[in-house]
């Protein structure tokens, strides 16, 4: 899952459909044709920057910015507030540094399975678990991207939302 930070009230601009352009370049459709029957040939995109990160990373960044509880799942604030909160760069971020973790499958116990030949075998159960980890540089990069969004929102007098 991921969380996006964006300005919901930002103006939009019309841009050509990227699928139509790609398919036309590949020769899959002819000039004037569309990538599917519902495509109008263009799409509306926000003029505001957007920031997307994993839920875990977003929760850590929001916590660093002083948000707590439900605010770490979805919320909003104006650009000026977000810029003030970005002083989090100077806070201790060590709690959000995590080493990558790989736990191989089979850690959830065992089960007995009878084979076609009538012999029973013991199988380990459970999925492989992968936690990607997080470095301080990655946290700083996320904060920098949020600052770009906060500056843009403040210049345009818009609210930043996340969820």
Residue 60 pLDDT: 84
Which DSSP category does 123 fall into? Answer: E
What are the residue boundaries of the structural domains of the chain, listed by start?
Answer: 2-98+133-162, 99-132
In this structure, the number of other CB atoms found within 10 A of the CB of residue 80 comes to 13
* Coil, helix or strand at residue 58: helix
Question: What is the token pair recorded at 118?
Answer: 């009538």
Residue 52 pLDDT: 95
Please name the residue that has the structure tokens 């116990």. Answer: 109
Choose between 72 and 30: higher pLDDT: 30
* Coil, helix or strand at residue 25: helix
Residue 88 pLDDT: 64
* Coil, helix or strand at residue 133: coil
* Coil, helix or strand at residue 8: coil
Pairing of strands 110-114, 159-162: unpaired
Residue 102 has pLDDT above 90, yes or no: no
Choose between 156 and 116: higher pLDDT: 156
Residue 87 pLDDT: 72
C-alpha–C-alpha distance, residues 59 and 79, integer Å: 19
Cα–Cα–Cα angle for 101, 137, 49, rounded to 5 degrees? 110
Predicted TM-score (pTM) of this structure = 0.70
Choose between 89 and 19: higher pLDDT: 19
pLDDT digits (tens, 9 = 90+) for 34-81: 999 999 999 999 999 999 998 888 888 888 888 887 877 888 988 888
C-alpha–C-alpha distance, residues 27 and 4, integer Å: 34
């Amino acid at each position: 899952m991921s969380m996006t930070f964006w300005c919901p009230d930002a103006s939009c601009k019309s841009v050509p459909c990227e699928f139509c352009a790609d398919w036309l370049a590949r020769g899959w459709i002819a000039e004037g044709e569309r990538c599917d029957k519902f495509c109008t040939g263009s799409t509306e995109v926000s003029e505001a920057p957007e920031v997307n990160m994993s839920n875990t990373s977003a929760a850590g960044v929001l916590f660093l910015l002083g948000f707590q509880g439900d605010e770490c799942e979805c919320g909003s604030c104006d650009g000026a507030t977000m810029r003030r909160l970005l002083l989090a760069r100077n806070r201790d971020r060590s709690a959000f540094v995590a080493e990558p973790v790989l736990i191989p499958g089979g850690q959830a116990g065992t089960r007995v399975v009878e084979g076609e030949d009538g012999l029973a075998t013991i199988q380990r159960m459970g999925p492989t678990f992968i936690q990607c980890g997080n470095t301080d540089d990655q946290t700083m990069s996320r904060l920098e991207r949020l600052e770009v969004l906060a500056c843009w929102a403040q210049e345009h007098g818009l609210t930043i939302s996340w969820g």
